[in-house]
């Protein structure tokens, strides 16, 4: 119950985004432009501002990175094992494989920011920056036979990674932003969470099942149950506590990001099937994420 109450406003924004998409006469271009604004401007500003203002202890965060890597790796391995469930449809398998481990950064930053404020955003930003390359490499590797997207080039242009690296440099270099710049970035960050969650809701697509129900159910179970369980085991083994424990569990329990659909389309994969699976994952996470958050709160 505690986890449900904490996440109710954020899930309310996702559902509001879905309702606005269906009930308001707003073209698809509006929503795609909104997501670009959030992805390329607002969330990078949120991450950079939080990281640049914080002195980061990388030794203390090493167990957090290890826990995140354990969670992502477990999703990759278990997702790889889903191959027999797709029969001879290699395209569907290669496209949906990534839904076992990719994560929605918008929801993660919104949830952990509510729990721990700037400290939580810094921890989640560090973890996202460290895990995005691993998730992208695994996804592109599986889809490589269907396209020629350059994984290194894509990561070099990823705004969340760039914002994280820039924040690192400011933090390590002891560079302090002027108050006017800090306030400006703070305003952008405040807009990021609400608009990001509305965009997540507007992207929900459940009209078509996309086929392969057994395989899709398996991948959902991997992402929403097995991966958080692996993170909880790793967190216990590494003695994580406080904000790092909550960050690791929330990160692992996040639903699949809509970027999985974008990647599948760009590399000639099964876009509609991935869109359905991402949407089903997001809605199911409204039930599972509060449970994992409650476990994390009691575990510490």
pLDDT tens sequence across 182-217:
899 989 988 888 888 898 888 887 776 667 789 999
Per-residue b/e over 128-159, b at no fewer than 16 CB within 10 Å?
A: bbbbbeebbebbbebbeebeebebeebeeebb
- Give pLDDT tens digits for 84-141: 999 888 889 988 999 999 999 889 988 998 889 889 988 998 898 888 878 888 887 8
Q: What does the pLDDT read at residue 208?
A: 64
Q: How far apart are CA 34 and CA 13, in angstroms?
A: 15
CB-count exposure of residue 57 (10 Å: 0-12, 13-18, 19+): exposed
Q: How far apart are CA 142 and CA 136, in angstroms?
A: 10
Q: How confident is the model at residue 232 (pLDDT cuts 50, 70, 90)?
A: very high
Helix or strand (DSSP H, E) at 132: helix 105-143
What separation, in Å, do the N-terminal and C-terminal C-alpha atoms of the chain show? 17
Best-predicted range by mean pLDDT among 57-61, 122-126, 163-167? 122-126
Which residues have CB under 8 Å from 298's CB, separation 6+?
Answer: none
Q: What does the pLDDT read at residue 32?
A: 85
- Report pTM: 0.84
Using DSSP's 3-state secondary structure scheme, residue 240 falls into coil
Q: Output the average pLDDT for the chain.
A: 85
Q: What does the pLDDT read at residue 40?
A: 87
Q: What does the pLDDT read at residue 131?
A: 86
Q: What does the pLDDT read at residue 262?
A: 75
Average pLDDT on 174-181 reads 84
DSSP state of 24: S
Helix 179-202 to helix 43-52 angle (10° resolution) is 140
Q: What is the 3 state secondary structure string of 14-34? A: HHHHHHHHHHCCCCHHHHHHH
CATH class of domain segment(s) 2-20+29-299: mainly alpha
Q: How confident is the model at residue 164 (pLDDT cuts 50, 70, 90)?
A: confident
CB 244 within 8 A of CB 68: no
Return the sign of the alpha-carbon dihedral for residues 231, 233, 237, 240. positive
Using DSSP's 3-state secondary structure scheme, residue 102 falls into coil
CB 68 within 8 A of CB 126: no
Phi and psi torsions of 17, nearest 5°: -60, -40
Q: How confident is the model at residue 300 (pLDDT cuts 50, 70, 90)?
A: low
């Amino acid at each position: 119950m505690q986890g449900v109450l904490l996440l109710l406003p954020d899930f309310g924004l996702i559902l509001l985004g879905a309702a606005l998409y269906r009930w308001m006469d707003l073209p698809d271009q509006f929503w795609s432009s909104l997501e670009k604004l959030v992805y390329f401007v607002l969330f990078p500003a949120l991450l950079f501002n939080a990281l640049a203002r914080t002195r980061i202890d990388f030794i203390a965060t090493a167990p957090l990175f290890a826990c995140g890597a354990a969670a992502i790796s477990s999703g990759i391995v278990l997702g790889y094992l889903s191959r027999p469930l797709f029969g001879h449809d290699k395209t569907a398998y290669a496209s949906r494989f990534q839904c076992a481990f990719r994560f929605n950064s918008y929801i993660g930053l919104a949830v952990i920011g509510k729990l721990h404020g700037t400290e939580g955003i810094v921890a989640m930003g560090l973890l996202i920056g460290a895990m995005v390359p691993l998730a992208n490499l695994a996804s592109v590797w599986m889809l490589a036979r269907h396209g020629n997207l350059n994984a290194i080039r894509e990561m070099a242009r990823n705004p969340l990674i760039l914002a994280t690296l820039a924040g690192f440099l400011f933090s390590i270099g002891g560079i302090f932003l002027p108050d006017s710049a800090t306030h400006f970035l703070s305003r952008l960050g405040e807009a990021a969470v609400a608009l990001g969650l509305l965009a997540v809701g507007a992207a929900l697509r459940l009209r078509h099942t996309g086929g392969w129900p057994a395989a899709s159910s398996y991948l959902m179970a991997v992402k929403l149950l097995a991966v958080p369980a692996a993170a909880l085991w790793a967190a216990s083994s590494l003695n994580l506590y406080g904000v790092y424990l909550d960050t690791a569990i929330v990160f692992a329990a996040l639903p699949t990001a809509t970027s999985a659909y974008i990647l599948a389309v760009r590399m000639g994969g099964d876009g509609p099937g991935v869109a359905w699976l991402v949407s089903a994952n997001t809605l199911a996470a409204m039930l599972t994420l509060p449970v994992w958050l409650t476990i994390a709160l009691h575990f510490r």
